[in-house]
């Protein structure tokens, strides 16, 4: 089974199957944890799975999915709160689970910065609080706004609730004019027990764990309820500041403490990996005595100047990582096996379990991955679990090491009832009855029904209206299911003809359950607003396999306009020629992604659906990176050879930050080649094409970093 294989051992087909499995699990976890405040697994399990997803994408970038967790932070804010756009994104952290992972974290930083192994590099280490992230904005020393993390870009305005927490100062003396303090709202074990006792006395709902209690308490529409709950706050970071707090992470934490915030006393400064691991061991041993929940230790580069150089990936900082505590096991009964059909037609088996508590979290579902896993085989046909298959009614072991929905790891055959038949995986789609085909080298079966399959059609429509795609206010997953069931929308273009088809009287919609004249009118207005859409968002919204959010933005920036892109796709339909080479020349676009993209626009039914949609849209030219005074904005740059004053990753990030497009190969579209020592064929090709070539010093002079 692919989840048992190390990332470096995965074949391309195994990696593809594993990414599909991870996407489904992570999406379910985001909804449960961030939106419903009712997670079925721990943060440690979630983060470990997310890290595996990122590692596979790093090895197989062309397989990155449009619903990849690497592009997501948290989940969309609840509708009951006003939305707050964070001036600086609130990101999640990458994870480490073994000492080797921490050593690799240190090595990655040194490689990025070009530091030798023996160069001093200090880190801070602090407990990772299991609570709810909160950002506090102070202007001229006064608390003016408090917001949850939400999806990292937009959170919920919980200012009135935050003012009731005694650990959060209303005013500060000696703070920068603008200061965003970030930290974690949590509840102590003693306060949690007392709260649940009070809930039981009133016959009210009891909370599963302190994290749920803290999150549910902070996200109350009535601040009086929050005020009656015993919430606490640790400050450990910051967002926007008008003046630096300090030159180091440790110094900034000390400054926050001096301003009146509670900071964790177990935060220490460590010199190197060995010291980090020693502090991790001390905190793990003291974990049960702390009086509050933690799920690991966070390591951060201490020097804030180095943090700035290291920068960020799409959802995580390069300069920090969370070293998580080990996973846990439990045994329970497998009550049923359900088959879910995804947007790409993949049939995913899900175990329905007798609810069991694993590490303080109640678990009722678990992944079974695919038919091989159920039968006791891995994707190569090798025996797993000693060849024991999984059957309905079995007593099964649930394992929570990195899986958002836990996995069934083992079976107790001594408790299997006599005469229980082996599970037979369906060969037809349970949603539409079409054949479910398993192609050679693929770990999953897929329904071939396409858009005639209601599950696939609905999932595609849900993706189309998702936050990173069209994000139509009032038209979410629930409404998509409702409208599809009514027969009102079958493909994306139908969304933009709703009002036309049902008239200005809005009778069809406003008389339905959950809709009134005002809500119907608001929906139609929201749809009208989305007739103008950025190129990258439109491409991502189409839900083309392997083409994720980042790839869509990258492709949009390379082609500029939708018309030019369509012409290029038509020119590449035979998977050869200049337009095909141009597509493959985009850094980050591999053969698998390129074939999926070109194939989607060449397939008559899919192309017809896309063309019908774009008739109703004005597709905006791709948003360009900064061009204010940048000498390389809009230019295509290729780096080759060895760079001596910065790493290749740092050079690429710097170029893109200045508005350049960084390509992986030289072509007629290349504007500039930066060639270090050891430059080979790329330098020769650039010379043959008459492309300007400069060395590293010339590049630094050009961008003003000399």
Q: Which residues are catalytic?
A: 128
Beta strands (DSSP E) in 522-578 are 532-534
- Residue 58 and residue 487: Cα distance in Å, rounded? 41
Pull the structure tokens for residue 147: 């917001």
Beta strands (DSSP E) in 55-131 are 83-85, 94-96, 122-129
Stated length of the chain? 706
Q: Which residue has the tokens 């080759």?
A: 640
Burial of 467 (0-12, 13-18, 19+ CB in 10 A): middle
Closest CA to 324 of 634, 672, 46: 46
Q: Which own/partner contact pairs does 5-10 have at CB distance under 8 Å and 24+ positions apart?
A: 5/378, 7/52, 7/55, 7/56, 7/59, 8/59, 10/56, 10/59, 10/60
Pull the structure tokens for residue 20: 């599909």
- Give the count of alpha carbons within 13 A of 43, CB side only: 27
Classify residue 438 as left (phi > 0), alpha (psi -120 to 50) or beta. beta
Helix, strand, coil: what percent of the chain each, to 5? 40, 20, 40
- Residue 361 and residue 39: Cα distance in Å, rounded? 7
Q: Beta-carbon neighbour count of residue 67 at 10 Å?
A: 25
State whether the Cα torsion 388-390-393-398 is positive or negative: positive
């Amino acid at each position: 089974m692919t989840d048992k294989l190390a990332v470096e051992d995965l074949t391309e087909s195994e990696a593809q199957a594993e990414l599909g499995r991870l996407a489904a699990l992570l999406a379910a976890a985001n909804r449960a944890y961030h939106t419903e405040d009712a997670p079925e697994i721990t943060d440690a399990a979630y983060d470990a799975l997310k890290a595996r997803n990122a590692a596979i994408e790093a090895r197989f970038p062309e397989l990155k999915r449009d619903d990849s967790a690497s592009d997501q932070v948290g989940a969309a804010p609840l509708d009951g709160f006003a939305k707050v756009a964070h001036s600086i994104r609130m990101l999640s952290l990458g994870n480490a689970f073994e000492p080797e992972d921490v050593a690799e974290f240190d090595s990655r930083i040194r490689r990025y910065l070009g530091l030798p192994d023996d160069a001093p590099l200090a880190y801070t280490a602090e407990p990772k609080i299991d609570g709810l992230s909160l950002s506090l904005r102070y202007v001229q020393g006064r608390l003016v706004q408090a917001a949850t993390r939400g999806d990292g870009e937009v959170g919920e305005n919980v200012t009135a609730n935050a003012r009731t927490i005694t650990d959060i100062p209303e005013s500060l003396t000696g703070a920068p004019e603008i200061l965003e303090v970030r930290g974690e709202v949590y509840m102590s074990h003693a306060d949690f027990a007392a709260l649940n006792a009070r809930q039981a006395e009133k016959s009210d709902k009891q909370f599963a764990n302190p994290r749920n209690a803290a999150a549910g308490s902070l996200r109350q529409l009535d601040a009086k309820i929050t005020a009656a709950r015993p919430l606490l706050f640790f400050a450990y970071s910051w967002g926007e500041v008008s003046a630096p707090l300090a030159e180091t992470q440790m110094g900034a934490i000390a400054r926050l403490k001096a301003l009146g915030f509670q900071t964790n006393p177990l935060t220490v400064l460590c010199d190197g990996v060995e010291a980090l691991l020693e502090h991790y061991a001390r905190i793990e041993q003291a974990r049960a005595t702390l009086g509050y929940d933690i799920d690991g230790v966070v390591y951060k580069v201490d020097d804030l100047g180095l943090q700035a150089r290291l920068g960020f990936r799409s959802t995580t900082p390069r300069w920090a990582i969370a070293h998580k505590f080990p996973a846990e096991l439990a045994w329970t009964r497998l009550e049923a096996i359900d088959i879910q059909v995804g947007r790409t037609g993949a049939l995913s088996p899900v175990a329905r379990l007798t609810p069991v508590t694993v590490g303080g979290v109640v678990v009722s579902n678990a992944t079974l991955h695919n038919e091989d896993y159920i039968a006791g085989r891995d994707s190569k046909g090798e025996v797993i679990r000693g060849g024991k298959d999984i059957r309905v009614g079995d007593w099964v072991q649930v394992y929570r090491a990195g899986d958002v929905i836990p996995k069934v790891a083992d079976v107790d055959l001594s408790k299997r009832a006599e005469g229980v038949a082996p599970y037979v995986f369906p060969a037809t789609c349970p949603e539409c009855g079409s054949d479910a085909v398993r192609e050679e080298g693929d770990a999953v079966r897929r329904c071939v029904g396409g858009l005639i399959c209601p599950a696939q059609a609905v999932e595609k429509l849900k993706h189309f209206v998702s936050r990173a795609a069209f994000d139509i206010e009032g038209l979410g997953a629930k409404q998509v299911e409702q409208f599809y069931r009514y027969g009102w929308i079958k493909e994306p273009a139908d969304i933009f003809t709703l009002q036309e088809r049902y008239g200005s009287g809005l009778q069809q919609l406003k008389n339905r359950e959950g809709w009134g004249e005002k809500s119907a009118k608001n929906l139609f207005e929201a749809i009208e607003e989305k007739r103008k859409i950025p190129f990258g968002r439109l491409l991502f919204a189409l839900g083309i396999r392997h083409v994720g959010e980042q790839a869509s933005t990258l492709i949009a920036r390379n082609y500029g306009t939708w018309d030019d892109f369509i012409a290029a796709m038509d020119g590449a339909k035979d998977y050869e020629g200049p337009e095909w080479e141009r597509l493959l020349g985009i850094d980050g676009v591999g053969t698998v992604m390129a074939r999926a993209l070109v194939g989607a626009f060449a397939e008559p039914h899919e192309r017809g659906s896309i063309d019908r949609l774009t008739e109703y849209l004005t597709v905006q030219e791709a948003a360009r990176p900064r061009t204010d005074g940048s000498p390389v904005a809009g230019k295509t740059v290729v780096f080759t050879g060895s760079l001596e004053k910065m790493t290749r990753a740092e050079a690429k990030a710097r170029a893109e930050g200045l508005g350049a497009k960084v390509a992986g190969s030289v072509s007629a579209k290349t504007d500039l080649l930066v060639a270090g020592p050891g430059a080979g064929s790329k330098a020769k090709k650039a010379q043959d094409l008459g492309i300007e070539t400069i060395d590293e010093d010339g590049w630094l002079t050009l961008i003003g970093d000399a």
